[in-house]
Amino acid sequence: MTISLTWREYTEQFKAPDQPELHFDPADKQDYTWRYAGRFFEGWIRWIWLRQGIALQIENTQNQDRLLLKLPDWVRPLTWHFILFGKQKIVDFPSCREASISTNRGEFFLHGSGLLDRYTEDFTDTGPFLFVTIFVWPEVLRSFASDSSEELPPALDHLIRPSESACYKRVGKTSPMMHVLLQQILRCSYTGLTKRMYLESKAIELLSLLVEEEADIHRDKAQANLADLDHCDRIQYAQEILMNNLTNPPSLVALARQVGMCDYSLRQGFREVFNTTVFGYLRDRRLERAQQLLLEPWMTVAEAARVVGYDSRTSFATAFKQKYGVSPKVYQMSARR
């Protein structure tokens, strides 16, 4: 038998625990557990919200039948989902080339921040599931940058994308050191302040291993790709990077480094291929995106400016009027008539 549930129907199956053993730390309001209260499966999910935009989720459940869980489009933080027991398959993933993504014991599923489009989780096992998930908000990762700009190294830029862009996804193997840290998280017996300090330190230690692995993979991939690119391909590659990072684009020097060019050659190449400067190209794409957003009935001018990367509403209005001949507010009002 196969059970199919929406995310809302799934969450309605849980309620606050009434068993003392599921109150892991009753004094901590940021550490709470929901137990299953329905007929499809049994178990519990524990959430631990740590400071600085890091959260842990521990899920210990067992299905009675095959479960299909249908999830909607979500704008989510960076997420590493570790499989310690059981297996799951992600299907109906519109932005994935493969028909499905399978994760088994000893693997993890990573997705960066940005838009995680609708998909279905297929839990084929009826045995026990044990998952540990770490959620990291983009500003936390940026806070570890070595300079005041909080820009990530080029090899990690793909982890943080705008809310309207499809997020990066990958399945990886859990290394022995990662497994040790996961077990330490699961076996933490501390409470209160000591628990929070301990779990945060383990989460950050785990994050450091994951980020370093991701950087190594993409440095190697970038070097392999660049070796096969000619001048025009590199310009097109730079254009793709800008399109995927409209809200928080790399600097000209960082962009040139990513595509294996000097900044002078990149500037000249943009004029040859796109008949504009790098900044001009970025500005036009931002304003085109803003023009589309302003047609949405729920969108304000200030929110449209923020989404496309303008910190100043005045600067946004000036640039928009220069390109389209009217202010964004006038354009929005005329489009809605």
Tens digit of each residue's pLDDT (9 = 90 or more) over 195-210:
999 999 999 999 999 9
% pLDDT > 90, the chain: 30
State the pLDDT confidence band at 180, using cuts at 50, 70 and 90: very high
| DSSP, res 208 | H
Q: How many residues does the chain have?
A: 337
How many Å apart are CA 311 and CA 117, to the nearest integer? 27
Residue 143 CA, distance from chain mean position = 16
Packing angle, helices 278-293 and 231-244, rounded to 10: 40
Most confident of 113-127, 137-151, 172-186: 172-186
Amino acid at 192: G
Maximum CA pair distance of the chain? 69
Reported as a single tens digit per residue, the pLDDT across 270-299 is 888 888 899 999 999 889 888 888 888 788
| 75 Cβ contact list (under 8 Å, min separation 6) | 113, 114, 115, 116, 163
State the pLDDT confidence band at 213, using cuts at 50, 70 and 90: very high
Q: Are 258 and 154 contacting, i.e. CB atoms less than 8 angstroms apart?
A: yes
Q: Which residue has the higher pLDDT, 1 or 321?
A: 321
CATH architecture of the domain with residue range 280-335: Orthogonal Bundle (1.10)
CA atoms within 13 A on the CB side of 23: 9
Token pair listed for 336: 């809605």
% pLDDT > 70, the chain: 92
| DSSP, res 195 | H
Sign of the dihedral through C-alpha 16, 19, 23, 29: positive
CB atoms within 10 A of CB 322: 10
Q: What is the pLDDT of residue 44?
A: 92
Q: What is the pLDDT of residue 216?
A: 85
Q: What is the pLDDT of residue 93?
A: 64
How many Å apart are CA 56 and CA 276, to the nearest integer? 46
Token pair listed for 50: 């740590």
Reported as a single tens digit per residue, the pLDDT across 217-270 is 887 666 655 555 677 788 888 888 888 888 888 888 889 888 888 888 888 888
CATH architecture of the domain with residue range 2-221: Sandwich (2.60)
What is the pLDDT averaged over residues 37-42?
78
How far CA 151 is from CA of 19, 138, 167, 273, 292, in Å, comes to: 46, 11, 18, 27, 28
How far CA 166 is from CA of 12, 93, 156, 304, in Å, comes to: 28, 11, 16, 18
Please tell me the least confidently modeled range out of 25-34, 89-98, 300-309: 89-98
How, if at all, do strands 31-36 and 128-136 pair?
unpaired
Helices (H), the chain: 7-11, 138-143, 176-186, 192-227, 231-244, 252-258, 263-274, 278-293, 301-307, 313-324, 328-335
